[in-house]
């Protein structure tokens, strides 16, 4: 089907509202994406027609809910090209998935083992590993980045050794938009026998990862970045690692047999899915996957690259404006400051004109420390944004600059 931007925008009811008397221009997609009517309808349908607990009931509603939930798992497996559906673990989101893996490795790592993280990680891909090191005595090492916001691959190669047990890198930087060379990162880590976790929270709305081709050990993402609901995500865990790691939580569903003397655990995926899950969220995640694929990721990528190029050119025409993250491989994020003006002040003014951008350190404070800045203004684009909305952003930033100078 042809890429029809107006037809796509009509699928998103929130895009027709006004903010402060102005048409909403939503450019905070890296924080969360908006939801199409198709996903909203899926949520309403679940609670209206077949709300029930899953995997446990023989009655009709339970069977219908179970079938829909497991069908969503299958959709997600197919979308990401995981080898098996049971390698897809439903989680509460990216952070939950990372902590699940970190908890498992707390029983595997020993003092002196080394783990590697990149300099451009979100706090959720830094703090759990620091906690892991404190608990186990492992050593955290950091891949540096350069002024363009690109990881220094040669330094990464120097960090790798037989002591390296784990490598953690985001697929795309939420603060800079940099697309990291995860294929090479995974390959080099595997050469020394290290496992790799990729944080895909910022990538999966823009590109379609092939998990078998990547040969990654763990991959995490959140539905709400992909037009789905909040409170649900997935952890892809390669079968061999799923069998090695201990359960993250104890409770119902994740057991095979329980006595007061001993408990045996269920196999994948239930081993890591204790308790009643976000059933509606999982089903709606499947609906969001269907929606994105109906548009097509090639068209999404092409349109978003056009938005990125146009926004970069227009914003750089503003005197004193500097963009952070200027590497050759980027997705649709423009993170910038204007000399002498605090990013929060710009964000506040453009909001009065109906434009939603993010300001601050974007939960990536080490990046801001690297550039010696308090934060940035971040405009992050989605496939439903338009060139006219980019013009509105540029005009609003110009107005903010004039008012604040």
Q: Catalytic positions, please?
A: 363
308: part of which helix (H) or strand (E)? helix 297-315
Residue with tokens 């974007």: 362
Q: Could you write out the DSSP letters of every residue in 185-231?
A: HHHHHHHTT-EEEEE-TTTTTT----HHHHT-SEEEEEGGGGTS-SS
Give me 369's structure tokens: 């420390």
- Interatomic CA distance for residues 31 and 28, integer angstroms: 6
- What three-state secondary structure class fits 377? strand
H-assigned helices in 46-88: 60-80
H-assigned helices in 11-140: 37-45, 60-80, 94-105, 127-136
Give me 289's structure tokens: 């996957």
Give me 105's structure tokens: 């490795």
Q: Which residues contact 150 (CB under 8 A, 6 or more apart)?
A: 178, 327, 328
- What three-state secondary structure class fits 36? coil
Q: Are 357 and 370 in contact (CB under 8 A)?
A: no
Give me 277's structure tokens: 């899950």
């Amino acid at each position: 089907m042809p890429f029809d931007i107006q037809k796509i925008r009509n699928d998103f009811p929130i895009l027709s509202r006004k903010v402060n008397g102005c048409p909403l221009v939503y450019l905070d997609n890296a924080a969360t994406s908006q939801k199409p009517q198709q996903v909203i309808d899926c949520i309403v349908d679940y609670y209206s027609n077949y709300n029930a607990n899953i995997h446990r009931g023989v009655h009709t509603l339970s069977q219908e809910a179970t079938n829909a939930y497991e069908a969503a798992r299958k959709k997600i497996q197919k979308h990401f090209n995981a080898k098996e559906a049971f390698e897809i673990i439903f989680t509460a989101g990216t952070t939950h998935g990372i902590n699940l893996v970190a908890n498992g490795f707390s029983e595997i790592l020993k003092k002196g083992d080394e783990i590697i993280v990149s300099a451009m990680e979100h706090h959720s891909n830094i703090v759990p590993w620091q906690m892991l090191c404190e608990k186990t005595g492992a050593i955290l090492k950091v891949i540096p980045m350069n002024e363009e916001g690109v990881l220094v691959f040669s330094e990464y190669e120097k960090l790798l050794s037989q002591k390296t047990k784990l490598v953690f890198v985001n697929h795309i930087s939420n603060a800079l938009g940099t697309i990291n060379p995860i294929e090479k990162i995974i390959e080099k880590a595997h050469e020394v026998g290290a496992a790799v976790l990729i944080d895909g929270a910022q990538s999966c709305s823009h590109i379609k990862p092939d998990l078998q081709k990547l040969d990654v050990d763990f991959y995490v993402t959140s539905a709400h970045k992909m037009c789905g609901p909040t409170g649900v995500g997935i952890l892809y865990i390669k079968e061999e690692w799923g069998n090695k790691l201990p359960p993250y939580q104890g409770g119902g569903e994740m057991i095979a047999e329980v006595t007061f003397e001993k408990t045996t655990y269920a196999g994948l995926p239930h081993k890591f899915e204790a308790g009643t899950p976000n059933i509606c969220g999982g089903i709606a995640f499947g609906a969001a996957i269907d929606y994105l694929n109906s548009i097509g990721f090639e068209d999404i990528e092409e349109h978003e690259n056009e938005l990125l190029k146009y926004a970069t050119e227009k914003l750089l025409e503003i005197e004193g404006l500097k963009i952070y993250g200027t590497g050759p491989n980027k997705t649709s994020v423009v993170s910038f400051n204007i000399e002498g003006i605090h990013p929060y002040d710009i964000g506040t003014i453009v909001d009065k004109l109906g434009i939603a951008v993010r300001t601050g350190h974007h939960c990536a404070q080490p990046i801001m420390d690297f550039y010696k800045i308090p934060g940035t203004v971040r405009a992050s684009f989605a496939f439903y944004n338009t060139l006219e909305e980019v013009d509105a952003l540029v005009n609003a930033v110009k107005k903010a600059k004039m008012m604040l100078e």
